[in-house]
Amino acid sequence: ISSSFRDSSVFKSEAYFCGEWKKGDETFCLRNPATQDEISSITDCGISDYNEAIKGAHGAFKSFRKSAPSSRSEALQNIYELMQENKEDLARLVTMENGKPYRESLAEVDYASSYFKWFSEEAHRMVGTIMPGSGSTEKKILTIRRPLGVVGILTPWNFPTAMIARKLAPALAAGNTCVVKPAQETPLSALAYGWLCEQAGFESGVCNILPTSHADVVGKYMCQHDLVSKITFTGSTKVGRILMQHVHNKTGTIKKVSMELGGNAPFIIFEDADIYKALDGIMASKFRNSGQTCICANRIFVHESLYDTVASSLAKRMETDLVMGSGFDVHVTQGPLINDKAVNKVSDLVEDAKNKGAKVLMGGTRASTLGRNFYHPTILTDVDESMDVFHKEIFGPVACLIKFKTTEEVLRRSNDSNVGLAGYFYTANIGTIMKLAEDLEVGMIGVNSSEISDAVLPFGGVKDSGLGREGSLYGINDYTELKSIILEP
Ligand code: ADP
């Protein structure tokens, strides 16, 4: 697959704020995670750039908040169409900087664009209510939804296009202005939104994208800036905690926060499961983006009666279906991990599990001949609670198989986690379905399905997986505040 652009205008390396592309004095070097080759040098923004962008966004909010819902809707629909027209080029950016296979990048761009389509429709539906007062039906209580102001958007590298889409689309639909801090690893997909917003007809200052290599300093600054009304973040629970402390430590403005943080998804295969469907589910859920998603199957619980069959069938599927290499190679399904830190983490988790009695059925080593960021797709069996891999988000291509006997046992063990984002289970028993749907401590459940990403679905977690829901008919609520009005005749 060619990595050359049809229209190179999507490729931007300068920051975009206050309606201008700005080449800063400072730059950082962006490298391809598969080859380590330099892709480009990127403008490296600091606090003074962020201050200018936030002030600009605050100024732009004055008129944007009053813009007609139909004009915001049209501009969002334009972004959707532009993303569809430029899908191949946008996918090239994702594969270049993130490393994922081009086909997955195309799917990500599609998924990202669906949020602009969805929220272009939702822009018309900032629904309020009218209720009679409790003491008199003459008295009316009205509620209306208002935008918040400047929204600070901080996003990770694993879905560089889609994670911004899930925040930017509802924020703009509701009439907020935005300042985006993308992950240092993936600035290109983010900067493309500057171009998309320009082309789509958003006024200058409404959407600002500022790459930076100073995530900690800039993150803190955004959280404590008086003109920022809301912080929305997707990333690790560790960084989410830091950002929440920054938001709450200051004596200044009170900000709203949305946090979409780490997961430790249980994937349960009951005795009566359709085993082929479950295997398809593991392949999709575990190996998408080489295991670097927050909703990846992290702990695969298999009923003891199926355990050996699932292990050997999974090994066969992985052997035939998974091919590692450059994301631009049409046969490749497994790209590199994002960086050395990620590979070291996966390697340490596997070593710890081995030392505590897990067996390596497949893989278990780096694939150094392909490059320093590659790790072999791996199956660990006999995994249990004594191992770090049971408790930590793996973020790599390691399938951990855990044996269980009873429903009560697997429910208790699944809930043995401080986080709760996604969970999956496979069974035909309606009683089991109802019980787990109720009692599994996660925000999203796939029943006989691993495909839970959809703009229609409220995406988000419970426990230390975060706050708020993205997408769906509820998604706009997180970017608005309710105003109440009492009206007497
Ligand atoms: P990962 O370690 O998987 O990259 P992170 O949660 O660390 O996940 O990164 C997600 C986002 O958080 C990125 O945009 C990154 O730049 C940002 N980030 C990392 N550390 C900090 C920090 N101390 N303060 C603010 N943002 C941070």
Distance of CA 156 from the midpoint of ligand 1 (Å): 7
Confidence of residue 60 (pLDDT cuts 50, 70, 90): very high
Fill in the DSSP letter of residue 334.
Answer: B
Residue 216 near ligand 1, beta carbon < 6 Å = yes
> Does residue 453 contact residue 459 with C-beta atoms inside 8 Å?
yes
Hey, whose CA ends up nearest to atom 4 of ligand 1? Answer: 156
Least-confidence region, from 170-184, 237-251, 295-309: 237-251
What is the rounded average pLDDT for all residues in the chain? Answer: 97
Per-residue pLDDT reduced to its tens digit, 221-268: 999 999 999 999 999 999 999 999 999 986 778 899 999 999 999 999
Helix pair angle (162-173, 69-85), 10° resolution: 160
> At a CB cut-off of 8 Å and minimum separation 6, what does 196 contact?
79, 82, 83
Q: State the closest ligand 1 atom to the C-alpha of 219, by its place in the atom list counted from 1.
A: 25
Residue 215 near ligand 1, beta carbon < 6 Å = yes
pLDDT at 253: 81
Residue 263 near ligand 1, beta carbon < 6 Å = no
> Does residue 398 contact residue 358 with C-beta atoms inside 8 Å?
no
Distance of CA 153 from the midpoint of ligand 1 (Å): 12
What are the E-state strand segments in 110-246?
129-132, 140-147, 150-154, 177-181, 207-209, 228-234
pLDDT at 250: 65
Q: State the closest ligand 1 atom to the C-alpha of 184, by its place in the atom list counted from 1.
A: 16
For the chain, percent of residues with pLDDT exceeding 90: 98
By most ligand atoms within 8 Å of CB, the mutation choice from 155, 163, 239, 464 for ligand 1 is: 239
> At a CB cut-off of 8 Å and minimum separation 6, what does 430 contact?
none
Q: How far is CA 218 from CA 16, 35, 49, 316, in A?
A: 16, 29, 10, 47
> Does residue 162 contact residue 193 with C-beta atoms inside 8 Å?
no
Residue 154 near ligand 1, beta carbon < 6 Å = yes
Q: State the closest ligand 1 atom to the C-alpha of 155, by its place in the atom list counted from 1.
A: 14
Q: What's the pTM value of the predicted model, to 2 decimals?
A: 0.98
Nearest to 477 by CA among 125, 149, 228: 125
> Does residue 461 contact residue 263 with C-beta atoms inside 8 Å?
yes
Give catalytic status of residue 260 as yes or no. yes
Region 413-432: mean pLDDT is 98
Residue 240 near ligand 1, beta carbon < 6 Å = no
Region 299-325: mean pLDDT is 98
Q: Which of 104, 260, 393, 470 is catalytic?
A: 260
Region 211-224: mean pLDDT is 98
Per-residue pLDDT reduced to its tens digit, 1-53: 999 999 999 999 999 999 999 999 999 999 999 999 999 999 999 999 999 99
Nearest to 474 by CA among 434, 435, 444: 444
Hey, whose CA ends up nearest to atom 2 of ligand 1? Answer: 236
pLDDT at 249: 81
pLDDT at 155: 98
Query: Exposure pattern of 145-164 as b/e (b: 16+ CB <10 Å)?
Result: bebbbbbbbbbbbbbbbbbb
Residue 245 near ligand 1, beta carbon < 6 Å = no
Confidence of residue 405 (pLDDT cuts 50, 70, 90): very high
Distance of CA 426 from the midpoint of ligand 1 (Å): 34
Q: State the closest ligand 1 atom to the C-alpha of 185, by its place in the atom list counted from 1.
A: 16
Distance of CA 105 from the midpoint of ligand 1 (Å): 22
Q: Read off the tokens for 96.
A: 């270049």
Residue 242 near ligand 1, beta carbon < 6 Å = yes
Q: State the closest ligand 1 atom to the C-alpha of 238, by its place in the atom list counted from 1.
A: 6
Distance of CA 181 from the midpoint of ligand 1 (Å): 10
What residues pair up with 482 in beta bridges, in sequence order? 145
pLDDT at 300: 98
Hey, whose CA ends up nearest to atom 17 of ligand 1? Answer: 215
Distance of CA 155 from the midpoint of ligand 1 (Å): 8
Q: How far is CA 423 from CA 101, 122, 263, 292, 461, in A?
A: 25, 28, 9, 16, 10
